[in-house]
Amino acid sequence: MVSSLQLPPPPGEDLQAEGRRLEQLVLSDPAGRAGWITELARVAVDLDLSVADLRSVATQLTWVSRRLGQPIPAIAEQCRDTGAVGLVHQYVCGQRLRFDFNFRGLEDFCDRHANSPHAADALVRSFRVFARLGARLPGATEDLEAVLRLPDADARARHVCLAGLWSAYTVPGQGDMLLKLANAMIALGEADGTVYFRRAAANRLLGNYAAALDDIDCALSLTTPGNNEINQDYLRERQLIGLAAQLARN
């Protein structure tokens, strides 16, 4: 069994059952035909899923698909569908390119679907923010602030923005912005291992080494069994913090 992304379980017995069934569809699709994406859209309509639940389930299933080595769905034309099919396809394609840190590919995807019916969705707009921050394009921080102010911005959209800031090594004030957003997410009750991991990096950049160690140790304590790659990412950050602290003392 491939370990899933660290996400809180979706509420509701029906949704939990459908989530397990959809994950089995992903796991039983070695060729990556991605029929689960259309099936997720159907479930979203049948269960009248909230946008937050749909984003969370789409993200989790996309992570599982990527861990299995399945290709990015070659179904971009379906992103223009005005209903749930189009929205789910945009979520899945965007999250997959984001997980791959394919900044230029994601920017191109956003450009090709700039006029889609779902272009104003906060998670869809966060994909462009992530791409522009990572690709070192001008205006990325202004786009970031605009997305964070959207009324439908939620934990999923903020996670994408946080990951973009974490990747934005050439942006002036990266550490301050990363710390501010991580703190805001924690205050909103959206703290998980990833948020503490990103905040540890922010504190390291700012020279707050004791706080950085506290954050990364918290992230490590929240790692669930089986997420070995995530655990290794956190350990590498802990080593970076230690090295930075030693260099600062010399």
pLDDT the model gives residue 75 = 61
pLDDT the model gives residue 191 = 92
pLDDT the model gives residue 194 = 96
pLDDT the model gives residue 32 = 67
The b/e string for 84-108 (b: 16+ C-beta within 10 A; e otherwise) is: bbbbbbbbbbbbbbbbeebbebbbe
pLDDT the model gives residue 15 = 83
pLDDT the model gives residue 76 = 60
Closest C-alpha among 56, 28, 32, 31 to residue 40: 56
CB 206 within 8 A of CB 175: yes
Q: What are phi and psi of 82, to 5 degrees?
A: -80, -15
Whole-number mean pLDDT of the chain? Answer: 90
pLDDT the model gives residue 8 = 46
* Cα angle 68, 98, 44; round to 5: 75
Q: Which fold has domain 174-244?
A: 1.25.40
Low-confidence ranges of the chain (pLDDT < 50): 1-10
In whole angstroms, what is the distance from residue 233 CA to residue 238 CA? 9
Amino acid at 36: W
